[in-house]
Structure formats: structure tokens, C-alpha cells
Chain A
Amino acid sequence: MVELDDYQSDAENQWCPGCPNFGILKAMKNALVALAKRPDEICLVSGIGQAAKLPHYLRCNFFNGLHGRALPVATAISVVSPQLTTIVVTGDGDCYGEGGNHFLHTFRRNPNLTLIVHNNQTYGLTKGQASPTTDSGEKTRLQFEGVTISPLQPLALAILHDCPFVARGFAGDITHLTELFVAAIQFRGLAYVDVIQPCITWGTHSVSWYRDRIYRLPQDYDPHDKYAAMKKATEWGDRIPTGVFYQMDEPPQLFGEYFRANSYEGALTALKFPSRGAIAELLGQFKTAKQRGEMDRQGRGVV
């Protein structure tokens, strides 16, 4: 039996008291208990930011890496140790700004991991600058005249690129968020949940501003219609939908599937050193008598 207490971390929490980040942490623990995952079966990966500190507050394996770089680290972990439940916890600046390129290319790979983005529409840790999701016109601690460039549409981007599970939750609705996390972690493939997380210190909107606008997608919403999902995912302003926007019936190939089918199925950590015979055989291909026609044809005329 796994209990909430098993995830209790001794590390001192550095979040502002009352921050909705605590709601996300709670929902995550709930989801892991519901799925009966032991701490040693879980690997959290994060970058840098307030959100990215979450792994310190949930007892499990973690790699808290560089700003923006959680996804490539997690992608590699997911293929080396497929038996681990790998979850990325990141912020809107971390994931959509500094790590934007990885965000895009992770959709193409479809690794088996869960991506949870604490989207507070601001840079919390560096004290209130605009993030890629800050609405145009919002005045910040750096954009004094108001943000003049338009916000990124991360969910629509994900759907466009066939990220097979795309959802949005609200840090103020822990029950719903728990359900979303459970579904995302159970999903085989890349499951992405953007979580609206009002920043009570630097945010330009209050928690109630969000609460008044947020609604759950209706029961009869069809998450399999790609272009309808993209449209829904861009709805923002007077009404803000939450729930599973997009879920593919037939997800694309999992990252590493070819390798597992054709080379080695399990965790790569189980492999021993190659035998001397295997290496000698490989070297033998470079013996001039037997050589095959495959020299360095690469590296020609390339910049």
C-alpha cells in the first residue's frame, strides 16, 4: 500500500505561502497514491523556476537540471529505463521560453512521459517579467508599457503536432487536476497537462479572475477531433476551458519502440559490457582484406 505520507519530503518549501503551486503538489501526490506508485518507481525531472522546485517537495527520484532543459533529460531517462514513471515538472518560462525548441521536438518523438507545466503566465523566480504566455497588454515588472508581442499557444501547438494527450487543468480545482494527472500518467506516450496556476505575488490576474472564467469541457466534448480541439484550446478570455482537449485513438509510435523491437527490450541498465568477441568482429570489418565499401562518406560539403 502506498500512502500520501510516503511522498512526504523533509526539504524546506520555498514557495510563497498560499501559492496555488501547493494545489498542484497535492494533486500530484493524490494521483500517485491512486495509481499505487512507490517513490522509487517515480522519476521527476525539472528545470529551473519556482515550479521546477517541486521535485524537492515530493519524496522520489529526481533530476533537477538546467533552466529549459528538463525534456531532453527526461526523454533519455524514458528510453534507458522504460519501467520508471517519468514525469516532467516545469514552468511556462522553463518549458515554452528557454526550452521551446525541446518542447516542439518532444512532440515529434512521443516519449513515454508526462509533462506537467505550471503555467502562471509570468516568470516567478526572477520576479515578475513576462513569460511566453503572458497576455498582450499586461504590464509587468519589465514590460512597463505592457506586453507588446502576442502570447504563444502551447496547447494548440501540441495538438497540431499530434502530441497524443493534451489537457489543461486548474491548480484551484484539485479534484479535477488529480483526475487529469491520473489519466496522463496512465497514458502510454507523451501526455501533456498545462496547469493554470495563478501567481499570487507577480500575477496580473487574481485567483478569482481565473476562477470566474474557468469551466470544465462538457461531457459530450469529443477529444478525437483534431482541428476542433485546436480551436477549443485557443479559447481564452471571458471563458477558459479545462479538461482533456485532445486524445489520439491511435497514438504515433513511442520513442524508442524501434530500438526495443529490434535491439533490446528492457532497461538498458541491465546490459553488461560487450564481449571481446563482438568487438573483435566489428573491428574485423575494418581489416583491409575484408573491408566493406563503407568508409567516411559522411562529412562531405557540410557546414
Chain B
Amino acid sequence: MMVDVTIVIAGAAGQGVQTIGYVLARTASGAGYNVFAWQEYESRVRGGCNSYRMRISDTPANSPLSRADILVALNAESQRKYRPLLKPEGILIDEHETGERVITVPFARIATDDFGKKLFANTVAAGALAAVLGLELEALTAVIADEFAGKSSEVVDTNRAAAAAGYSSAKRSCEGVCAWTLPGRAQTHYLVTGNEALALGAAAAGCRFIAAYPMTPSTGIITLLSKHKERLQIFTEQAEDEIAAINMAIGASYAGVRAMTATSGGGFSLMTEGISLAGMTETPIVIVLGQRPAPATGLPTRTEQADLLFAVNAGHGEFPRLVFAPADPRDAFHKIARAFNLAEKYQTPAIVLSDQFLADANFTVDDFELENLKPERFLATTTELTDYRRYLLTETGISPRLFPGQSEQLVCCDSDEHDEYGHITEDLTLRKRMVEKRLRKLEGLRDEIQPPEEYRIREAEDVLVGWGSSRNAVLEAVDRLNDQGNAIGMVHFTELWPLPRFTFTDGPRYHLIESNATAQFGRMLRSEYGLPVSSTVTRYDGLPLDHEYIMEVWQHG
């Protein structure tokens, strides 16, 4: 990589850390670079210490780095907190501090003296950062104009001028100190978060109904769909609680449309009876579970992968379900569409495991490969049905599914154990057959599950095994470790339940990489494949896995 620069913008909540970060992310992305950006913030509206982390590169690098080349500190407290992340050769952009590798830009003073309001300090800082990065000023001011598009021309002009002031102030001190230049390249990318990709994928898959109760980090999904509901023809409803949300989605699905809900661990806990209901009534439904550190309220704005075993086991009783965990937004877009297809084909709940990191981070996507997304419906045709039985016992376990009002056939669903027509039964022989029918669907489902991604496996002596959103970090760790002369491979799962038919080759040592404390996936691998695990790299401080962390823990424990 010729260009690979990591920036940390830090300040208190309310100081505009996110605005600066996002404006710069768009500017760099618009200039044709790969941008990866994530945030780390406290669960409060004002104060505290928040950071926006951005990695700009000329080849795709959708994973975070913890060490920074540039630190923009908006206040003293965050300067102290994030300074240790700055590399020795890195550049600090600060209001007051002076020094050899410091670019001093008095954001607040410039804002008040020249533009009359402290409010413009973050725009001044954005200008300064653009100068240090060697971005073109015009590229930045164009994005600023677009960001403030709805506002008065005075607001737009003042912000542009403030950015220019920060830019020229920093430019002067940059001479001979800052090594970066980011001239415009003729490339366009998508810059999207996991939440946006999940919402877009659901829309593309023909989802017509979403009910959800707000909970970080999944609120963005229903928000985006609600914003475009008229055009997309998707009915959106904020439910009174998560129990209502999942029951509404089940009602909509029974009524004949694709339906979903989205939540985090706490809300998912409330949904578990509903998941069991979907299993029993054989109603397809998609649930996005955006994980965050738990138990209970935990760390609302941070990340973790600790709800895996919960998702795989959620809901009382035995019934088939699907659990997917996408690697990144491109994968999330396709995975949720697959979840809709398979949930419908097998008439069962599908859970898409996301996490705060995937949900909120901005990733660069070159191509969504829309042509590979193939929504399919699996409703029965009414003409061939006489004596319709919603729960007809079949070899595959899949019964013909109609919706009420589709024809004269009556569609009867029951959460009690039922006969083929959907009526309550206490016939215990029939009960046994119904259990077996439902579980038979798991066999067909297992054949549909994609095997894990294998990378540099051939000569590997050690293999890092992970799942979900850590994929790019693990991949990068694997490459770097190979560069250092190790023989390392990767096996990465994004379809977790039922586990795919797959054989781990004998020979290499297997190491688990997970963002939780007890290596939950390891337990699944051991019981399903009898896989012996040599060591585990776990992370549960609320921050995402990155390749530096993985390499450090793997090599030095």
C-alpha cells in the first residue's frame, strides 16, 4: 500500500467529532480513496471523551487500526486520553500545544475572532486536517456545501470560509513536516455502514414490513427504511416494546409479506418467546441482533460478539432456525437477502447477527454485485390444493404455505401443538410426528449453508478461526504474520447455524479469534466438528478486534 494513514479525531460529545470525521471521510472517499471509519463513543449526549477513527488507503482496508498517524484533539482531556495511540513519528493537531511534530491551530479562537461563533471550531479543525492530509481544499468545501445543503447560504458560506481558514493556518506549519498528499483519483466507491447495508439488503429482498423498538446499535435499520418507506413501499412501525415488535412482524408474515425486526441483546431477550412462536407456527421472519457488550444494559455504544450461543439457542423448545453473521456491509447486503429467502423456504426464523462495530462503522464497498442478489418466494399455488392443510406432513418437513385471503383456502396457525389443519391437538402420536416434521427441515437447511471462507490454508501451520465482523481484521493479521515469515491461514464463518457441512483439515493448529470472553464459537466447533483448539484470542473491552491486537495477543499472549 502506498497510502495507509490512520487518523483519530477526539473530543467531548457535542464538540462535533463525528461531523469532522464524516466530512473528512466523504472528502477522502470522494477523492477516490478507500475509507474505513468507526467511532468509539460514550453513552451520553454531552461531555466525556469520544473518538472518530479513520483509515484512508489506496487499496481496500476495511478494518481498524489502533495506532494513529494523526491525532486531532479538540480538548485537553481527549488529548491526554488518546495521545498514547499516536505513533512516535505521528502528527498532533492541537489548539494550544506547540512542538516539533505538532500543528498548532487555535480552532476556537479562529472561530470566534474571525467568524463570530465558537460553533465553527469544528469546521476550522476539519480544514486543518484536510491540509495535513494533503487533500484539496475544494474537495472539502464541496462536501461541506453538500452537508449543509438544507441551511441558509450564509451558514454554508461561513462554514466554507471557516474550513479555508483552518486549511491555510495548518498549511503554513505543514511545510516539511507532513508527508501525505491525497490528490484526486478517478474512482468512486460506496461509503456505507453495516446498518445501512442491512436495511438496503432487506429492501432489495422485498421486505415489506419492519416493526422495531429503538435500541442501539440497531435503530439505524428501521430509521433508514422509514426515511424511504413511501418510495420503497415498506411499512415501518415503532412498536411499544420488542415483544410487540416481533409479534407484529410475525403477524405481517402470516398475512403474506416478508417481515423483519431489529434489536440488540436486551430487546432480543424479550423477543425469545416470539422466536419460539415463529418456530412453532412455521412463520418466516428475519431478526437482526446487533450485539453490544452485555449483560443487561452493558456498554450501549460499544461492541462485542457475546450473543452467539444465545442466538443459536434463543426460544424455548426445539425447532430449526438460521443464524448468519455477516463479515462487512457488502456481505451484510447479500446475507440478509439470503436470510429472507431461506427463512421463507424453510418457514422458520432467521437471525442476522451484527454488532455495534459493523452496524456503525463506515466501510468502502466497490461493488454491491446487485446482479447476484436473487430474491425468491416460496408460497404454494392455490390451484393444486384441495383439502388444504397448513401443516401437511411431508418428507422435507416443508408444508404448503398460503396466506389468508390469497384464496378460498383457510389458513390456520396455532402456537399450541396442532394437527395438520392447524387445530389444537393432544394426540401424542401426532405430537411426535409434528416435532419430527419441524426438525426435518433442518436437514434441507443444512445443505443450503455456505462453507466458511478459507484463506492461505494450503501450507498453513497455524489457522486463525473467526466469525462475523472480525473477518477483515483477521485477514490482515494473517497477511502480516505471513509477511513476518509465519505460515498462517484463516477459516472464517459467516453462516453459523446450522453449521455447514465442512471438514477442518488435519495438520495445522487452530486458534480462535472472538470478541467475547469465553470463546463461544469454540464450544460450537468442538461439539459439531470435534475441533481441538490450540489457543484463543478474545477481546471483551468493548473495542473491535483489529489486526494489531490479534497479532499482539496471538504472539505474546
Contact = CB atoms under 8 A, between A and B. Distances in A.
Interface string B246-271: 01111110111101000000000000
Interface size class of A (residues with CB under 8 A): 35 or more
Interface size class of B (residues with CB under 8 A): 35 or more
Contacts of A76: 209, 211, 247-252, 255, 259
A81 B402 CA distance: 14
Contacts of B525: none
B362 A295 contact: yes
Interface stretch (B89-97, B226-234, B549-557): B226-234
Interface stretch (A56-64, A224-232, A240-248): A56-64
Nearest to B206: A273
A296 B196 contact: yes
A269 interface: yes
A268 B208 contact: yes
Interface in B1-57: 13, 18, 22, 26, 29-30, 35, 41-45
Interface of A: 9-11, 14, 38-41, 43, 45, 48, 53, 55-56, 59-66, 69, 71-77, 79-81, 83-84, 101-102, 104-105, 256, 259, 262-264, 267-269, 271-274, 276, 278-280, 282-283, 286-289, 291-303
A147 B178 CA distance: 78
A274 B204 contact: yes
Interface string B189-233: 111110110001001111011010011110110010001111111
Given A11-B423, A61-B404, A279-B204, A73 B188 contact: no
Contacts of A302: 43, 214-216, 219, 300-301
A296 B39 CA distance: 11
A100 B6 CA distance: 52
Interface of B: 13, 18, 22, 26, 29-30, 35, 41-45, 146-149, 188-193, 195-196, 200, 203-206, 208-209, 211, 214-217, 219-220, 223, 227-233, 235, 239-241, 243-245, 247-252, 254-257, 259, 273-274, 277, 281, 297, 300-301, 359-360, 362, 368, 370-371, 373, 375, 403-416, 422-424
Contact of A274 (B206, B215, B252): B206
B383 to A, nearest CB: 15
A273 B43 CA distance: 38
A75 to B, nearest CB: 6
Nearest to A62: B412
Given A72-B239, A263-B230, A268-B256, 7 more contacts: A63-B254, A63-B413, A76-B251, A83-B405, A283-B200, A291-B26, A291-B191
Nearest to A43: B404
A65 B375 contact: no
B424 A53 contact: yes
B404 A65 contact: no
B229 A296 contact: no
Contacts of A45: 251
Given A105-B244, A299-B360, A73 B251 contact: yes
Nearest to B406: A269
Nearest to A41: B405
22 contacts: A40-B404, A41-B405, A48-B416, A56-B414, A64-B413, A65-B413, A66-B273, A66-B415, A71-B244, A72-B211, A76-B249, A80-B256, A83-B405, A105-B240, A263-B233, A268-B208, A279-B370, A286-B196, A291-B146, A299-B301, A302-B43, A302-B219
A80 B195 contact: no
A73 B415 contact: no
Contacts of B243: 69, 72, 101-102
9 nearest A-B residue pairs (beta carbon): A76-B251, A73-B251, A61-B404, A288-B29, A80-B255, A72-B247, A269-B256, A105-B240, A293-B147
